[in-house]
Structure 1
Amino acid sequence: MNAPASTIAPPGTLMHPSIHPDERAARVKLAACYRIFAMLGWTEMIYNHITVRLPDSVTGGEKQFLINPFGLHYSEVTASNLVKIDLQGRVLDGSRWPVNPAGFTVHAAIHDGLPAAHCVMHTHTTAGVAVACLQGGLQQNNFYTAQLHGMVAYHDFEGITIHADEGPRLLRSIGDKPAVILRNHGLLAWGETLEQTFAILWTLQRACEIQMATLSMGAPIPVGEAVAARCTEDALQFNPNHGAGRDVFDALVRQVDRIDATYKQ
């Protein structure tokens, strides 16, 4: 499938002028998130995905979500070139961009199987993949792992994630845990909002970075179970009553705006 010649819509427009306001808002926020990932260096060429399930006000109760157009770097994603698809990966908005099967297979399973999974994020960062490949996975030995006490799930590697039959096994592995380490593969997070999901993934990413640095120097100091449990209770960045990551996300959006605000197009 050939991609359109221009990746960015004219200023101030979206692909569909009559788009529902809730979908328009979801597109702009998700496009901003892709640019934040690019700014942070959480990219893998044209691969990996961040998806958002559209609200019932847009879909009439059907399960539909937005995903990045396959072939674009995260720094090229805009509100207008995001692709709306259903759980089978069918394009619903007339987009000429293709969709990566490895994207909708995993993300559709989570959006469909976990009612609270409004947003799903997946990365292949060096630190994330390194910890995913480590026997024992994430260790409870730093400030960030302590904030994820009881929140991390693991799923064994089954190869490239393009086979729908892996979905039920993935959901069993995840249970109700929002931070997921895909063994030998990478990191994944899901949450009730995009901002909350970002906060979870950012904390998981930092935990992996610190662990990788610590283990390169020697044996880490473990954090006790009681202390870790208290840290997770005290952590505010995941809590809806304290914004669930909204303040941090908004600050990063402002930083992106100062660099390049074309994601809004």
Structure 2
Amino acid sequence: MALASGEDSPGGFHMSAAERAVADVRAQVSAEEWATRVDLAACYRLIAHFGWDDLVFTHISARVPGTHDFLINPYGLMFEEVTASNLVRVDLAGNKTLPSPYEINPAGYTIHSAIHEVREDAGCVLHLHTMAGIAVSAQRKGLLPISQQSTFILLSLSYHDYEGIALNQEEKGRLQADLGNTRHMILRNHGLLTVGRTISDAFMTMYSLQRSCEIQIMAQAGGEPLLAIPESVLATVPEYVKQVTRGAGTGLVWPALLRKMDRIDPGYRE
């Protein structure tokens, strides 16, 4: 039940105007949207847990089921502060389609609206500025086929050249063209991006992409010549993935990750 203006929360803390405004969001949305909000908030908390956040400056979006609207983080909140209720719902033009006291990152709007506009399969778009990701993005040859993790990524990887902070709406067309139908993108001199049919897809593919970058930087730091995985082995990866996940894909791991969040940081569900 939503609290009246100025009323204390059940825990005894005085609710701010922003907290009161989002307190009854669950009552305003469908069960499908609420489930998406919970998963997306968990994804933000997981990114913070793994240390992949960049203060308040990166973003993850998820399409609201049955619409072209998408949910994205409230600009100014740390990732560990994101909850199912305080996610902001906007349309492809950036207009809020559910009242919220929060604004969204304008660069985040440019990137996410560009992808949701042209990729019907983009249930979730995840963008990070990790140190390892940016380091690899600055390397001329990009991601190298030197680890098992990288073999998953190289099946569907694209690159987009740096054009400055993503505020220019004209960049959207070039971003869309460079992404094409790929699931992973390295934004040159900028960071990493993944596109998933579901939130779990986007998170798990980012997990592999981030690990691939970490491994590459560590291997290069060793100073020895690097051993590339043969093309003949790379060609076997799709069938290997199906066998390892028993056909469940990224859904095999996501429930375990949610259980982990419920143990250590359950506030995402609020």
Match of 2:117 among 103, 112, 115: 112
Query: What residue identity is the alignment partner of 2:233?
Result: V
User: Structure 2: how far apart are the matches of 1:174 and 1:257?
Assistant: 34
**Is the counterpart of residue 224 in structure 1 residue 235 in structure 2?**
no
SS in structure 1 of the partner of residue 235 of structure 2: helix
Normalised by the size of structure 2, how large is the TM-score? 0.89
CA distance in 1, matches of 2:162, 2:205: 22
Q: How does 1:43-82 map to 2 (within 5 A)?
A: 43-56=53-66, 59=67, 63-82=68-87
* In structure 1, C-alpha distance between the alignment counterparts of 2:237 and 2:257, rounded to whole Å: 25
Partner of 2:200: 195
Please give the alpha-carbon distance, in whole angstroms, between the structure 2 residues aligned to 1:99 and 1:118: 19
Q: What is the percentage of aligned positions where both structures have the same residue?
A: 40
| Structure 1 position 169 matched with structure 2 position 180 | no
Unaligned runs of 5+ in 1: none
In structure 2, the CA distance between the partners of 1:16 and 1:255, relative to structure 1 (3 Å rule), is closer
Distance 2:72 2:153 in 1: 27
Correspondence list, 1:1-265, <5 A: 5=16, 14-56=24-66, 59=67, 63-218=68-223, 219-236=225-242, 242-265=247-270
Contact 1:31 1:78 in 2 (8 A): yes
Indicate if the aligned counterparts of 2:18 and 2:101 stay in contact, CA closer than 8 A: no
Amino acid at match of 1:19: V
Distance 1:79 1:154, change over 3 A: same
Structure number with higher relative contact order (C-alpha < 8 Å, ≥ 6 residues apart): 1
Give secondary structure in 2 for the equivalent of 1:66. strand
* Counterpart code for 1:79: A
- Stretches of structure 2 lacking an aligned partner (at least 5 in a row): 1-14
**Matched residues in 1 for 2:181 and 2:268: separation?**
32
Q: Provide Cα deviations, 1:125-163, integer angstroms capped at 9, x if missing partner.
A: 111010001111101111111222331100010110111
Contact 2:69 2:91 in 1 (8 A): yes
Aligned to 2:5: none
Distance 1:99 1:88 in 2: 12
CA distance in structure 2 between the partners assigned to 1:206 and 1:224 by the alignment:
20
C-alpha distance in structure 1 between counterparts of 2:190 and 2:232, whole Å: 30
Deviations 1:168-202 (A, max 9, x none): 11111111110100000000000111111112111
- Distance of 1:197 and 1:87 partners within structure 2: 20
Structure 1 length-normalised TM: 0.90
Letter in 2 for 1:234: Y
* Cα distance in 2 for residues equivalent to 1:236 and 1:78: 33
**TM-aligned CA deviation for residue 16 of structure 1:** 4.8
Q: 1:185–1:123: structure 2 CA closer, same or farther, 3 Å change rule?
A: same
Cα deviation, 1:61-81, whole Å, max 9, x if unaligned, reads xx1000000000000000110
Which amino acid is 2:29 matched to?
Answer: I
Paired with 1:188 and 1:237, the residues of 2 have a C-alpha distance of 26
Q: Secondary structure of the residue that 1:122 maps to in structure 2? A: strand
